[in-house]
């Protein structure tokens, strides 16, 4: 048996919500977790105080499937199969989405990337490969992807790293390793632990609002 790899054109979706105020706005780009959709992450972005002044973009993973026992289409970002190619595909897809958004609305060069759970890895990948000027990363319930180099991490001006104290999917040990990794790379960051589980809590939204305030041009 010979296993081959063939390229294919795949269409994905994103949601964009223009800012409440007129004129060019910075981008707040979101990435959902496993078995979620773009709507779920858009709600999280909207929960951040002050986010109405940003152009919100929620990008949905390319790999869609039906949620078990529910007639609902959800998505995930990737599996371990052909991991490197999937990462490259996802990075290119994000760039295409942001180009489309910038063509439709006036934007400022700054962008903050926000991920939840599986979407945290995508937020970091999008941030270090962005050509639009990364202003920061908001990461809740997920770890920093291992393939990102120290040099790439240093391109991120600031990071909010958040974890619920009862989150079994993002263990305290990994949370500590990620915080130490960011510190060793001299990346300014806040390591936030809140009372809760695998979730995007009100504490995360409040801390994210402070990051947006400091990142606003």
**Domains of the chain in sequence order:** 14-215 (3.40.50.1820)
pLDDT in tens, 57-92: 999 999 998 987 777 899 999 889 889 999 999 999
Q: How far apart, in whole angstroms, are the C-alpha atoms of residue 138 and residue 56?
A: 14
Q: For 145-186, what is each residue's pLDDT tens digit?
A: 999 999 999 999 999 999 999 999 999 999 999 999 999 999
- For the chain, the first-to-last Cα distance in angstroms comes to 56
Helix ranges restricted to H, the chain = 38-46, 83-104, 118-129, 150-153, 172-184, 202-215
The rounded distance, in Å, linking the Cα atoms of 5 and 11 is 19
Per-residue pLDDT at 154: 96
Cα distance between residue 93 and residue 115, in whole Å: 16
Angle between helix axes 118-129 and 83-104 (nearest 10 degrees) is 70
pTM of the model: 0.96
């Amino acid at each position: 048996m010979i296993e081959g790899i063939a390229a294919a054109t795949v269409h994905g979706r994103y949601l964009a919500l223009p800012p409440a105020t007129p004129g060019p706005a910075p981008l707040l780009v979101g990435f959902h977790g496993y078995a979620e959709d773009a709507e779920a992450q858009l709600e999280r972005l909207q929960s951040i105080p002050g986010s109405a002044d940003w152009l919100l973009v929620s990008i949905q993973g390319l790999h869609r499937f039906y949620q078990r026992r529910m007639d609902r289409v959800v998505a995930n970002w990737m599996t371990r199969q052909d991991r490197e190619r999937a990462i490259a595909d996802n990075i290119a897809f994000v760039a295409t989405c942001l180009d489309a958004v910038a063509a439709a609305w006036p934007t400022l060069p700054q962008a903050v990337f926000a991920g939840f759970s599986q979407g945290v890895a995508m937020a970091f990948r999008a941030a270090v490969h962005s050509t639009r000027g990364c202003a920061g990363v908001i990461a809740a319930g997920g770890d920093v992807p291992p393939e990102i180099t120290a040099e790439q991490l240093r391109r991120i001006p600031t990071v909010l790293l958040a974890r619920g104290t009862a989150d079994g999917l993002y263990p305290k040990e990994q949370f500590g390793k990620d915080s130490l990794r960011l510190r060793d790379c001299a990346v300014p960051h806040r390591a936030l632990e809140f009372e809760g589980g695998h979730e995007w809590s009100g504490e995360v939204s409040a801390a994210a609002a402070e990051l947006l305030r400091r990142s606003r041009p």
